[in-house]
Amino acid sequence: MGLLYGPRRASSHSHLPSRSKEQDTNLIAPLVQVSRHGCIYIPNIKEGLLLWDYIQKRERGELLIQKIKKLQDNILKKIELSVSKDGFVHFGDTVMLLNPADQSSVENSAGACGSLTLAINLDEISIYSFESLRAPCGVSAAESTDPVGRNTFCILSVDGSAVDEPVRFGQKFGLGTTGGFPDPMLYLASDHKSFIRFAKKSYLQKVFLTSERSYLTCWQAAFLDPQLRLESEGFPVPANSKIIITHCHTNRSLAIPRNFWTRSYFGKEYEVVCHTYLDSHKAEEDKNYWVIVTKNPGPEDGLMIDRPEPHPGGIAKKGSCEET
């Protein structure tokens, strides 16, 4: 028994990539016969249904390859970071969270040695099933330092502070991201380790993204030197400088162990946890160091961390170098 289709209706999805009528005809021609009444007759019902379903999904943008492309176009979309005019971090800023490379990590760590950025880590189910971010969502540390949808975050107020006000040491704030999509926004969170909730590789306290704002999504910045930490309370947090980011509810610091890596859709990346690594002097190790990265306001564009260090004696004129 065959299958009959009436005249085909025009698609209203003009924004999706479409094929010409000639291409559709060439695709269907080997499987169809046309009756004298002008109807399309497909002798093989199963092949006809599959083909028709494919054409309809393609026109609606529901094919797997179309979903993946849309997801990649958003999550890997280049994002413009905020410019810090006074050198401080402000509520509402779009920033990157970077764990800088350090000499001790280069010498002692068996894992990554360069700078790593906090990023969204999508599993295969999310990649192949969803067209936008869904909570809960994992995070990881990526080697790429280019600001894109998956590694940029917005500094959010949790105590009613206005946008553009500076974030201060000891003040609670939130970290949200949309992954390059218009919505929804997900929030960086953590909770105490349990038998069913822990980091997969290190078995330490898990860090994840959630859709609900609560006490689990509150963080605060601490001064890098523990001996000056008390005196620095209430001072603005400097951008593009090393700080400690601590989870308020569990009092454990955001960290990248660097020796636990995972294979993600984006390649080899590293696990992110909440754990305070202390050295013999009771000071945090470089695994807990973070830099809140902003955009370079200069004409050369780029990031502030990419700017060269200032010359101690200033910029000398060409040909005026003198020996001392």
Kindly list the domain boundaries of the chain, sorted by start residue: 3-62, 79-305
120 neighbors 167 (Cβ within 8 angstroms): no
Report whether pLDDT(104) > 90: no
Which whole number is the average pLDDT over 207-223?
Answer: 96
138 backbone dihedrals φ, ψ, rounded to 5°:
-85, 165
Q: How far apart are CA 81 and CA 276, in angstroms?
A: 28
245 backbone dihedrals φ, ψ, rounded to 5°:
-110, 120
Q: How far apart are CA 124 and CA 110, in angstroms?
A: 27
Q: Which residue has the higher pLDDT, 264 or 110?
A: 264
Which whole number is the average pLDDT over 103-109?
Answer: 52
What six digits make up the tokens of 93?
């800023």
Q: How far apart are CA 205 and CA 211, in angstroms?
A: 19
Element (H, E) at 264: strand 261-264
Q: Which residue has the higher pLDDT, 155 or 299?
A: 155
Of 213, 293, 219, 282, residue with least CA distance to 249? 219
Least confident residue range of 34-38, 115-119, 146-150: 34-38
Report whether pLDDT(320) > 50: no
Q: Which residue has the higher pLDDT, 154 or 53?
A: 154
Q: What was the pLDDT predicted at 135? A: 82
Report whether pLDDT(19) > 60: no
Report whether pLDDT(112) > 90: no
Instruction: Tell me which fold the domain 79-305 belongs to.
Output: Trefoil (Acidic Fibroblast Growth Factor, subunit A) (2.80.10)
